[in-house]
Structure 1
């Protein structure tokens, strides 16, 4: 009987050792890949077939746009790359914060000033997504892509009536009536509403001015395309928001005809997401690590679902250049 007990203890001890070494192996592997990725990050030709190899860079802008300094730095490297002869920017975005969209537009303009740049609208380039698209000198969209939604909004929930119903009152002392206004815990005063309206109007004028300058639209047509509505790619061509209907092949043909770029050059992805937390190998490594310690189902659930992304819009602060019809249009 004692021999059986000793064997059971030895077996458990071996299992613990095996788990330890598995976890250690995963950690070493992930650390090694992180080290390699970090070393490659500083290379000007990251994402290409090799230094000095002529190519067309493909940049992808997807999802909600926020301020992103890593993306700006990646675009700065692209602007200086000797390998990239031209740039094709794929956009599929409903927009995001006005400041983030402005930052992205500025970074893309720096690229366009050094290399022929064309935008391809995949699903949509609405609101802030269209701000980004205007950085290029040529915009291609599919016939049923969505473009436009030229406008700015400022949203905030107001729970004043709810607080009154449940008997909660917010007490505050502030330096002036417009400090931290509106706050959502009390009815918005006319003065606060006027201040926010002036803020929105100023950003809207900036947005309209960009459309006028970059797309050469003025007068009644400018008023029509900047009233906040969205358009299909086909409508966008008629309204001068889009230059041509097509896909990446159309963009390559334009680069060849108008900019003298060799159409046989390979099109290579230029990675904008340089943050280590966004790299897929870390997701895989984390999942493998969790598997080793018995938490595989939880890791797969976190990596495989869009739970985190579902909260994206809730974390956007300030002025928005964002198209989301379920809430506003």
Structure 2
């Protein structure tokens, strides 16, 4: 039985593709096993510095909270570096991170290292640290709280849709896109926003040792570069993770010989664990940005898109 040259070439190509996919499968399994090993410390790490990543939109996260509590309990963790690269997120998410990291800092040194962006709830997270380091070009600040809505009542009328709203009291479900914002509703909503803003400002005053007047001047919602934040005393130093390690050695007597190990949390499957363990930045940084969808009060900086 003879085969044509084209048929033989197709068979060779098919076998080559199969070998490639077999290799990828083997690598994925190995990476997953390494991720599990790192997560459950099967290699028996000795004393070390833990690196906790806070990236993307900050939300309330039970798995992250449990990891912070685990870092606090683990006697082998001698210090924690919090790497922040986030435009912010929900107020509750930022508050939870702040409170849990402050609880951790009562037991072990915590230093924050800001990446490209650490604004709004991202900056709130950094406030929990004993020391804050940022790059000169880091975008930070944006101290404030907001609630976003829209009034589509006119649009609904143009397309022939008339909303029917029945509620127990005038302030129920306010603001509502289907009805005009009344002065009473605006006042009640502003009271909520200002209450959370007061909480945020209190954190800045306490952690950065600034007066209320100084914080009021800085907390007008604007963003700052790392250099500007340093001059405004919103951060302690401009630099990299090396600066954080130097501070830990200098001020907290943490040995410079200790290994820095990533703290992995919230992995739902083996492949997710593999991604975080061996190629976190490659897999997470895609060309298509993830949409921002948050309920409730948010503390987030995002460039205006028109």
Given that residues 48 and 77 in structure 2 are in contact (C-alpha distance below 8 angstroms), is that contact kept between their aligned partners in structure 1?
yes
Given that residues 221 and 239 in structure 1 are in contact (C-alpha distance below 8 angstroms), is that contact kept between their aligned partners in structure 2?
no
TM-score by length of 1: 0.76
Of 286, 296, 302, 1:318 maps to 296
Cα drift, residue 52 of structure 1? 5.4
**Is 1:89 matched with 2:82?**
yes
- Map 1:191-270 → 2, pairs under 5 A: 191-270=184-263
Runs of 4+ in structure 1 deviating by more than 6 angstroms, as ranges, are none
SS of alignment partner, residue 151 of structure 1: coil
Of 46-55 and 104-113, the range deviating more from structure 2: 46-55
Given that residues 86 and 122 in structure 2 are in contact (C-alpha distance below 8 angstroms), is that contact kept between their aligned partners in structure 1?
yes
Cα drift, residue 119 of structure 1? 0.5
Structure 1: gaps of 5 or more residues: 1-21, 284-301
Aligned to 1:63: 56
Matches of 1:304 and 1:220, distance apart in 2: 40
Given that residues 143 and 234 in structure 1 are in contact (C-alpha distance below 8 angstroms), is that contact kept between their aligned partners in structure 2?
yes
Cα drift, residue 303 of structure 1? 9.3
1:229 to 1:178, Cα distance in 2 relative to 1, 3 A: same
Partner deviation per Cα, 1:245-292 (whole Å, 9 max, x = no partner): 110100000000000000111111111333338815489xxxxxxxxx
Matches of 1:276 and 1:184, distance apart in 2: 39
Given that residues 54 and 84 in structure 2 are in contact (C-alpha distance below 8 angstroms), is that contact kept between their aligned partners in structure 1?
yes
- Map 1:281-300 → 2, pairs under 5 A: 281=274
Matches of 2:253 and 2:85, distance apart in 1: 27
Matches of 2:43 and 2:100, distance apart in 1: 24
Matches of 1:304 and 1:142, distance apart in 2: 20
Cα drift, residue 327 of structure 1? 5.6
**What do you get for the CA RMSD once the two structures are aligned?**
3.0
Matches of 2:264 and 2:47, distance apart in 1: 17
1:278 to 1:207, Cα distance in 2 relative to 1, 3 A: farther
Matches of 1:132 and 1:148, distance apart in 2: 11
1:118 to 1:33, Cα distance in 2 relative to 1, 3 A: closer
Matches of 2:100 and 2:122, distance apart in 1: 14
Number of residues paired by the alignment?
277
Partner deviation per Cα, 1:79-106 (whole Å, 9 max, x = no partner): 1112211111110111000011101111
SS of alignment partner, residue 167 of structure 1: coil
Structure 2: gaps of 5 or more residues: 1-20, 277-282
1:277 to 1:110, Cα distance in 2 relative to 1, 3 A: farther
TM-score by length of 2: 0.82
Matches of 2:271 and 2:211, distance apart in 1: 41
Matches of 1:278 and 1:239, distance apart in 2: 43
Matches of 1:232 and 1:324, distance apart in 2: 15
Given that residues 158 and 184 in structure 1 are in contact (C-alpha distance below 8 angstroms), is that contact kept between their aligned partners in structure 2?
yes
Cα drift, residue 173 of structure 1? 1.4
**Is 1:180 matched with 2:173?**
yes
- Map 1:95-134 → 2, pairs under 5 A: 95-134=88-127
Matches of 2:284 and 2:53, distance apart in 1: 21
- Higher-Rg member (1/2): 1
Given that residues 52 and 82 in structure 1 are in contact (C-alpha distance below 8 angstroms), is that contact kept between their aligned partners in structure 2?
no
Aligned to 1:292: none
